[in-house]
């Protein structure tokens, strides 16, 4: 028998049970969206969307075996490996992103973890992004406490490190580092005083119970991640999960809605996968409480809608970019 549907209120809770989250997933769609939208409005202007732009500052050749990832050296995906970019080239891209309306610049590196000798360059990039008046975010793999503190000292606002899926399904997707490794990095980031950006991917062949398990891990953290990216798998040929069935968009929207209800004050990001979504699916995601996107024609290595397309979508929906 399903657990009773929990009463939904806008005060963050950290004691969610899996049964409660499962019962939200099972609600009739109009009921689920109504609850998610009501909670969304308690903390946010429902017409505003935060805009981030991504840049791959070190591409490909990664020693990890994440089954979804075009940048893993374990799979032949056609992604050309490249060295860590120069600071000036990164900052030129950040300036262009700011001029196109982004308020946060997210720099991603295909590393298992950063080497201390590379961190100096990364800190310069963070300082440069801050000097442009933008928020800074990096995703560099696993971090030690000392590395997290060093990033904090350079002014880093957010660190992205995803749990990706449920603890149970995780082993099907990654074998080269554990769920606990990820939680340890997240704790180091939190302890260093950096905002946490943490979410996952749907559409990798996981069950609804796995989506529940993923959101349960996030929503029972002592502090909810300030930013929760929900990625729809970008299927890339050569990766082990590239041939699976694509996820029903309605199931994706449900995942966004449950994330919004379970973490009322977090920014929920409609992340990878917009390139494959209709305007209508994206509009449903915003109704379900998503309030952040990546802008620009490329994510790290895969395509994303051009800024013009997003401006047109926002115009059609009467929505606006969120100011800092
Ligand atoms: N190497 C670092 C790490 O894994 O922590 C940072 C970069 S990694 C590409 C950042 C995140 O991108 C992954 O955790 C995963 O959630 C997401 N990602 C990677 N490939 C993806 C894909 N094909 N579709 C959707 N999301 C993807
Ligand atoms: C996140 O959750 N999604 C972004 C960001 N954090 C780093 C990455 C999406 C990558 C999609 C596959 C690619 O472009 O390589
Ligand atoms: Fe490497 Fe990150 Fe891709 Fe995993 S997700 S293979 S760690 S770049």
Q: How far apart are CA 164 and CA 202, in angstroms?
A: 8
Query: Which pTM was predicted?
Result: 0.97
Atom 4 of ligand 3 has which residue's CA nearest to it? 66
Q: What is the pLDDT of residues 56-93, one digit of tens each?
A: 999 999 999 999 999 999 999 999 999 999 999 999 99
The set of protein residues with a Cβ atom below 6 angstroms from ligand 1 is 68-69, 71, 108, 110-111, 139, 141, 161-162, 164, 201, 231, 233-234, 236, 272, 300
Q: How far is the CA of 71 from the centre of ligand 3 (A)?
A: 6
Q: What is the pLDDT of residues 163-178, one digit of tens each?
A: 999 999 999 999 999 9
Q: How far apart are CA 72 and CA 211, in angstroms?
A: 24
Asked if 197 is an active-site residue, the reply is: yes
Q: What is the pLDDT of residues 19-51, one digit of tens each?
A: 999 999 999 999 999 999 999 999 999 999 999
Question: Residues 61, 64, 68, CA angle at the centre, nearest 5°?
Answer: 90
Contact yes or no for 228/38 (Cβ under 8 A): no
**Res. 14 pLDDT band, cuts 50 70 90:** very high
Asked if 269 is an active-site residue, the reply is: yes
Q: Which two tokens stand for residue 6?
A: 């929990």
The set of protein residues with a Cβ atom below 6 angstroms from ligand 3 is 62, 64, 66, 69, 71-72, 110, 141
- Say which residues have a Cβ less than 8 Å from residue 240's Cβ, sequence separation at least 6: 67, 75
Q: Look up residue 316 and give its DSSP letter.
A: H
Contact yes or no for 49/292 (Cβ under 8 A): yes
Atom 19 of ligand 1 has which residue's CA nearest to it? 69
C-beta 271 within 6 A of ligand 2: yes
Q: How far apart are CA 184 and CA 204, in angstroms?
A: 24
| From 69, 123, 198, 285, the catalytic residue | 69
Q: Which atom of ligand 1 is nearest to the CA of 200?
A: 16
| From 8, 137, 198, 285, the catalytic residue | 137
Atom 2 of ligand 2 has which residue's CA nearest to it? 229
**Res. 3 pLDDT band, cuts 50 70 90:** low
How much is the mean pLDDT over the chain? 97
pLDDT score of 1: 45
In this predicted structure, the answer to whether residue 2 has a pLDDT above a threshold of 70 is no
| From 8, 123, 197, 285, the catalytic residue | 197
Asked if 285 is an active-site residue, the reply is: no
pLDDT score of 9: 80
Question: Residues 320, 321, 323, CA angle at the centre, nearest 5°?
Answer: 125
Q: How far is the CA of 223 from the centre of ligand 3 (A)?
A: 25
| From 35, 177, 211, 269, the catalytic residue | 269
Q: What is the pLDDT of residues 256-298, one digit of tens each?
A: 999 999 999 999 999 999 999 999 999 999 999 999 999 999 9
The residues pairing with 4 across neighbouring beta strands, listed in sequence order, are none
pLDDT score of 295: 98
């Amino acid at each position: 028998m399903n657990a009773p549907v929990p009463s939904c209120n806008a005060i963050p809770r950290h004691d969610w049970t899996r049964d409660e989250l499962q019962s939200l997933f099972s609600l009739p769609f109009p009921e689920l969206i109504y609850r998610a939208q009501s909670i969304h409005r308690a903390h946010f202007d429902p017409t505003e969307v935060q805009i981030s732009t991504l840049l791959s500052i070190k591409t490909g050749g990664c020693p990890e075996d994440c089954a979804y990832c075009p940048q893993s050296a374990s799979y032949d995906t056609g992604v050309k490996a490249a060295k860590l970019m120069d600071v000036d080239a990164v900052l030129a891209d950040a300036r262009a992103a700011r001029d196109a309306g982004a308020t946060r610049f997210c720099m991603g590196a295909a590393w298992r973890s950063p080497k201390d000798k590379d961190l100096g360059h990364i800190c310069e990039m963070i300082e440069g992004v801050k000097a442009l008046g933008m928020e800074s975010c990096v995703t560099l793999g696993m971090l030690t406490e000392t590395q997290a503190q060093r990033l904090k000292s350079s002014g880093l606002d957010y660190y992205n490190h995803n749990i990706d899926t449920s603890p149970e399904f995780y082993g099907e997707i990654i074998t080269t580092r554990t769920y606990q490794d990820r939680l340890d990095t997240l704790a180091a980031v939190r302890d260093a005083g950096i905002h946490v950006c943490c979410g996952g991917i749907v559409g990798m062949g996981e069950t609804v119970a796995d989506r529940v398990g993923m959101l349960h891990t996030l929503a029972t953290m002592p502090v909810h991640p300030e930013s929760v990216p929900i990625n729809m798998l970008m299927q890339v040929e050569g990766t082990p999960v590239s041939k699976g069935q694509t996820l029903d968009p309605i199931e994706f929207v449900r995942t966004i809605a449950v994330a919004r209800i379970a973490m009322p004050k977090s920014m929920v990001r409609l992340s990878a996968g917009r390139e494959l979504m209709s305007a209508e699916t994206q509009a449903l995601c915003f109704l379900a409480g998503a309030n952040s996107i990546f802008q620009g024609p490329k994510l790290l290595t895969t395509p994303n809608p051009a800024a013009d397309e997003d401006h047109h979508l926002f115009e059609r929906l009467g929505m606006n970019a969120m100011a800092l």
